[in-house]
Amino acid sequence: MSTTERPRILVVGGGYVGLYAARRILKKMRYGEATVTVVDPRSYMTYQPFLPEAAAGSISPRHVVVPLRRVLPGAEVLTGRVTTIDQDRKVASITPLVGDSYELPFDYLVVALGAVSRTFPIPGLAEQGIGMKGVEEAIGLRNHVLEQLDKADSTKDEEARRRALTFVFVGGGFAGAETIGEIEDLARDACKYYPSVKREDMRFVLVDAADKILPEVGPQLGKWGLEHLKKRGVEVYLETSMNSCVDGRVVLANGLEVDSNTIVWTAGVKPNPVLARYGLPLGPRGHVEAEATLQVKGTSHVWAAGDNAQVPDLAARAAGNKDAWCPPNAQHALRQAKALGDNVISGMRGFPQSDYKHANKGAVAGLGLHKGVAMIVMGKMKIKLKGRLAWYMHRGYHGMAVPTWNRKIRVFADWTLGMFLKREVVSLGAMENPREEFYEAARPTPRPADAKPIQEQRDAEKAGAKAS
């Protein structure tokens, strides 16, 4: 039983699904009906589709995150990790940021851990790679890229200059194509302020093991996006993988070798591996197996949705695709979270639960300022857009999809100011180690072996002062 008088609904993960599911449950349940507890290692939710724009400086990084405690005032928010779950005892093991682990009983469980970067055992990747799953990485990438321009403009070493001005991106899906498009825009704008750096001096390389980029928007728009990036000077290598990147020496399967200080990894995602310790049925790729109601197979008290769940796509199956599963995107995550919240309330009250069914409405992608692709699905008709109009669709959709009106207003304010003010191109690389300068000033300096103790020196100084 729960340690509280009321049953506890434990939400594991405070991302898109966790946040919206918790809000829905709090909205639907009666006063005192249950305790909602949300556990996440971060105290905020990150709207990941905005990470490329945050990395390029088009949006303030603080505006792409939503503080959990502010938007979930009726819930318990615990900053930590759920490391294991005992389904028989209905107890979760919580590891907080500080202190010892402890057990937390629950009555109902929502699994919304999301996904982590999918990586491979490539030599040098862990040491050299930069991911794009969190706002910290987006800020770090922005500072890193601008720092490379600082280095290139200041050095006389041609090899160091080439390394600094070579940017390698691995992965041609939404994250990879959008990030390289935004960062190329940022670098193009920033180099205007560096006398010895021109766009022609920079080298942008996009690598993907597939035979196309942006598969989510269809082959026609994906091909347009590919040609668009090439026209902007981006080298694209398809059906190619990265073999190694030890010490920044990037070696591709096609034989190309380049030296680079910037290696951005966006080659897909995978379910959080901690799911294996939750005692739940997992699919072939590590996703939690869920029914159309979002209830985990074989359970009556567990639900799952989003990137960590394998949910049947009933709309696609009705159209003839008998083995379709919901793709891991924000469109499904938002709607699944609301359906999940309703079903948790229904399950708690003993009422029938509803199946999740949503037909794909299309996809949008931004490739930098005023550039993008969009596929809008209206019934059996598909509207394909590219260029500035598609970019407006991209911003309009995600601007309205970001959680809370507080964040919507701030994001649109950032975009409005960007129409009149120039992009900021300041590198704040010291943010990664803010105490370094103070440490250098405050650390004890080695004293010569014949030096007097500090107290003796001070006594001598005082005596000298009195004598004078």
Q: How far apart are CA 20 and CA 306, in angstroms?
A: 11
HSE-CB at 367 with a 13 A cutoff on CA atoms is 27
Average pLDDT of span 252-276:
93
Least confident of 48-52, 118-122, 223-227, 452-456: 452-456
Distance spanning both ends of the chain, measured CA to CA: 80
Give the model confidence (pLDDT) of 318-364 as tens digits. Answer: 888 888 899 888 888 889 999 999 999 999 999 999 999 988 888 99
Residue 457 pLDDT exceeds 70: no
Sheet holding 372-378, edge to edge: 362-366, 372-378, 381-386
DSSP string for 51-62: HHHHHHTSS-GG
Tell me the residue length of the chain: 468
Helix axes 330-349, 16-28, angle to 10 degrees: 40
3-state DSSP assignment of residue 74: coil
Compute φ and ψ for 392, nearest 5 degrees: -65, -40
**What is the mean predicted confidence (pLDDT) over 432-445?**
75
Look up residue 259 and give its amino acid.
D
Report the pLDDT averaged over residues 38-42.
95
HSE toward the beta carbon, residue 429, CA cutoff 13 A:
9
Q: How confident is the model at residue 443 (pLDDT cuts 50, 70, 90)?
A: confident
Rounded Cα distance, 105 and 90, in Å:
6
Confidence of residue 425 (pLDDT cuts 50, 70, 90): confident
Query: How many angstroms separate the CA atoms of 96 and 41, rounded?
Result: 8
Instruction: Tell me the two tokens of residue 13.
Output: 């993960």
Q: How confident is the model over 14-29, as pLDDT tens digits?
A: 999 999 999 999 999 9
pLDDT on residue 269: 85
Q: What are the tokens at 357?
A: 């069914």
Q: Is the pLDDT of residue 429 over 70?
A: no
- Asked if 238 and 229 count as a contact pair (C-beta separation under 8 A), the reply is no
pLDDT at res. 437 = 76
Sign of CA dihedral 191, 192, 195, 200: positive
Mean pLDDT calculated for residue range 25-52? 94
pLDDT of residue 430: 56
Share of the chain above pLDDT 90, in %: 75
SS3 call for 343: helix
How many C-beta atoms surround the C-beta of residue 239 within 10 A? 12
Cross-strand bridge partners of residue 84:
93
Q: Which of 242-251, 287-296, 321-330 has the lowest mean pLDDT?
A: 321-330
Instruction: Answer yes or no: is pLDDT of 181 > 90.
Output: yes
CA-CA distance, 176 to 213, in Å (whole number)?
9
Q: State the pLDDT confidence band at 2, using cuts at 50, 70 and 90.
A: very low
pLDDT in tens, 85-143: 999 999 999 999 999 999 999 999 999 998 888 888 999 999 999 999 999 999 999 99
C-alpha distances (whole Å) from 186 to each of 60, 206, 260, 265, 403 are 14, 16, 18, 18, 26
